[in-house]
Structure 1
Amino acid sequence: MTELTTTPAAPRAGRPRSSTAAVRPLGFDPWLLVLVGVMITFGLVMVFSASWDVSWRLYGDPNALILRQFGNLVVGLLAMSIAAFFPIRWLRRLALPIILATIFVLFLLLLVTAGTGPRRAFLAGSVQPSELAKLAVIIYLAVWMESKGERLSEWGYGFLPLMTIIGIVGGLILLQPDLSAVLTVAMVALVMFYLAGARLSQSAVVTAGSAIVGYVLVRLTNTGRARWNDYVAGLVNIEEASYHVQQSLQSFFSGGILGRGLGASREKFGLLPAPHTDSIYAVIGEELGLVGALLVLGLFAVFLWRAFRIASQAPDRLGMLLAGGIAFWIGIEALINMSVLLGLLPFAGNALPFFSYGGSNLVTTLAGIGLLFNISRRQPPPLGVEGHVSTIGVGWRHRRRRVSRLGHHRRSRLES
């Protein structure tokens, strides 16, 4: 077996360049550009369909919530545009201020909303710091993991600092409490740790430890324990599942193959909880049927294909980690949301990206998409030029070298 590897040549004296990638001014990934446009449009249509009854009951205007969502979209598109043209190298200096500001905001939320009940948002629910924290953690971890290089595989330089970072951010989110956001942040961090080149033993320890901690947290919190018990009971007998899951499944069953028609959902009229936010996938299933539900699933599958392709072709380690983290974050949010509404996972509060009503989730998601566009504009240098040299290795002995597992930003492999 012959292995072709491409590694950077030794840098010249002086300040090293972060990347030799060529930047295409408007060279966005065309598939992703079209896909995001389709999902945004589809999402707006479904938000209006799912929200007009709630909007009428709350504000006396069936258009109130959809108009707010348009406002959220404008802010999100602005964030996406900035992220798409923002010099990625600046993140190396801004990552620490970003994560420190995130920790401060999470702590401030607990102070200004002190009292009983959930403490998850500012301004009557308009701003959810836990949503912003997800992207902030991805940015910080990408920069931090890149800076550690080969030393990331050392327990003292990789594993322990990672656990400290996730413990601080996750602990503040848990106090809100928002267990689903904590688990999402932990899963994203684990995947990024693996992609960055962590040892298999480290990844196994982190996975096992996260699973144990997650289970303990679920069992210790009243909300988590109730949701777990409802989930287990629902697996045995669907009539024992939570009311939310029962109504969600009823929506899917009511929709059948082709659905009841756009706008014709019955469950959204006071039966299905949060039809325009957490449960919008159930409204899609009822109004557009199995076809519509599979279409949404297919859109996210295409998104993951393009996003991970961008990660695999990123010109440097930072771009790969950013793209990989963002791809997994958006993908796992969607998977959890859809699985919960189908009764396949315990109930969680994850929104459906691009579709669920809400400003924080939409703006943060579009900011992440902007970073993906940014990375897709930066092309890797051709093999053997711009400071890269090729080496040939034979056999399997090169497989355990400490390299990132996506792409050829450091080393592209061709086996024959």
Structure 2
Amino acid sequence: MQKVDSLIFIIVGILMLIGALFSYSLPVYLEHAKHLSEYHFVMRYIGFGILGFAIMVWFAKLDPDKWFERIGWSILIISAILVIAMPFLPESIAPVINGAKRWIKIGPFKFAPVEFFKLGVIFFLSWSFTRQVKGHRTLKEEFQLIIRYIIILGGFWYLILAYQSDLGQVMVMGLLFAFLLLIAGGKFKTFTIILAGGIFVFIAAILSSGYRYARFKAWLHLMTNNFFPDITVESSMSYGQVEQSLNAIYHGGIIGQGIGNGIFKLGFLSDVHTDFVLAGIAEETGIIGISVIVILMLALVYRIYKIANRSEKKEYQLFAFGVGTLIMIQFIFNGLGVTSLIPIKGLTVPFLSYGGSSLVALCTAIGMVLMISKKAKLN
């Protein structure tokens, strides 16, 4: 076996250093308001970062032919059980926060099973599509095949949507399903049907919830005011966080206000270290800083796609493609959300947003990609 792709190690390491830096710089107001140490968030980020990086290095050393499926099945089964169990767990273990059960609490720590479930879904689809999706199928035969996947995964997506109120994660997994099916050899017509179905589910989810509908109208009001001033959409709800996000980005300009000198993190953007981390970084480092992050993300996804393209086993190809697409979707969705181009979905920015579950899950995913990179013909 050849050596792992060391450039991925370097890119991920740089992104995690940036994430640690802004986990120190951005949540200063929250630390002050909750009487926390100024090092509270950065020390936790570093702790989870060390754990995630250690897992990444450990997995990268393993033989994929022996360990890839064992690890994949373990992640899928454990995370699926937790997703099913969460609605029934007592609040002392799965606390209700903002009307949803998204985290399991163990002592002072919380983790979100859905972050690992996304990785399990990528593994399951790569394993299953390798065996089930073949060429020369009619559209009817292919639809009959994928309806089984939609029924099984749809049950989990319903639980995540109904009990965790997390439409963003369901959208991400739906898109991963569509893209992986297409890459596995599915028909483009099937791909478009799945996307159309996803749009229908998205609309239905909005219309079925008064709160989601009000937030959607608030976003539409803000977006049209910013980009289509001739169109008027009335809304009684403010989309204030995104408004402040746009102000922060504008205030950053080209070169930024300097690291530590941001103003909008001082109570104006309450989630500046998580959902709105790109806005906080843009204010302090400007377009130049965001451009560096975009280049790093593109380089990371390119290297992962290269591993997918050069892998000989179709299962490895699909898994690496899925991980690269997961990173790309979350980065693009978050970037479009904080600029009001799409509704904000509460998705983390890979490696930059504060959040132990997301960080460890992504490091695990990268470790598995590095594991299979030893079987790819990269030279």
Return the TM-score normalized by structure 2. Answer: 0.88
* Paired residues of 1:28 and 1:374 also in contact (CA < 8 A): yes
Q: 1:147 and 2:123 equivalent?
A: no
**Identity over the aligned pairs, expressed in percent?**
25
Aligned partner letter, 1:217 = A
Distance 1:152 1:54, change over 3 A: farther
Corresponding residue to 1:252 among 244, 249, 260: 249
Distance 1:199 1:148, change over 3 A: same
2: distance between equivalents of 1:379 and 1:97? 24
* Residue number in structure 2 paired with 1:112: 89
Shift of 1:164: 1.9
2: distance between equivalents of 1:294 and 1:212? 34
1: distance between equivalents of 2:376 and 2:293? 30
Corresponding residue to 1:218 among 206, 216, 231: 206
More displaced, 77-86 or 183-192?
77-86
Aligned partner letter, 2:307 = I
Distance 1:381 1:48, change over 3 A: closer
Shift of 1:93: 5.3
What SS does the corresponding residue of 2:181 show, helix, strand or coil? helix
Corresponding residue to 2:368 among 366, 371, 384: 371
Corresponding residue to 2:190 among 184, 202, 206: 202
2: distance between equivalents of 1:381 and 1:368? 19
Mapping 1:295-314, distance limit 5 Å? 295-314=292-311
1: distance between equivalents of 2:24 and 2:73? 39
Shift of 1:310: 1.2
Shift of 1:216: 1.1
* Residue number in structure 1 paired with 2:281: 284
Q: 1:160 and 2:147 equivalent?
A: yes
Aligned partner letter, 2:9 = L
Shift of 1:36: 1.2
What SS does the corresponding residue of 1:330 show, helix, strand or coil? helix
Relative contact order higher in (CA < 8 Å, ≥ 6 apart): 1
* Residue number in structure 2 paired with 1:28: 4
* Residue number in structure 1 paired with 2:232: none
* Residue number in structure 2 paired with 1:60: 36
* Paired residues of 1:276 and 1:356 also in contact (CA < 8 A): yes
Distance 1:229 1:113, change over 3 A: farther
What are structure 1's unaligned runs of at least 5 residues?
A: 1-22, 383-416
* Paired residues of 1:312 and 1:320 also in contact (CA < 8 A): yes
Corresponding residue to 1:135 among 119, 134, 149: 119
Q: 1:237 and 2:225 equivalent?
A: yes
Corresponding residue to 1:74 among 27, 32, 50: 50
Structure having the higher Rg: 1
More displaced, 355-364 or 38-47?
38-47
Shift of 1:156: 6.3
2: distance between equivalents of 1:290 and 1:278? 19
Shift of 1:97: 5.2
Return the TM-score normalized by structure 1. Answer: 0.81
* Paired residues of 1:52 and 1:65 also in contact (CA < 8 A): no
Shift of 1:352: 0.6
What are structure 2's unaligned runs of at least 5 residues?
A: 230-234
Distance 1:335 1:84, change over 3 A: same
What SS does the corresponding residue of 1:274 show, helix, strand or coil? coil
* Paired residues of 1:152 and 1:197 also in contact (CA < 8 A): no
Distance 1:161 1:88, change over 3 A: farther
* Paired residues of 1:91 and 1:143 also in contact (CA < 8 A): no
Distance 1:152 1:141, change over 3 A: farther
2: distance between equivalents of 1:361 and 1:219? 29
Distance 1:221 1:88, change over 3 A: farther
2: distance between equivalents of 1:61 and 1:150? 56
More displaced, 229-238 or 66-75?
229-238
2: distance between equivalents of 1:192 and 1:113? 36
* Paired residues of 1:98 and 1:140 also in contact (CA < 8 A): no
CA RMSD of aligned residues (A): 2.3
* Paired residues of 1:95 and 1:143 also in contact (CA < 8 A): no
More displaced, 290-299 or 130-139?
290-299
Shift of 1:247: 0.4
Aligned length: 358
* Paired residues of 1:315 and 1:378 also in contact (CA < 8 A): yes
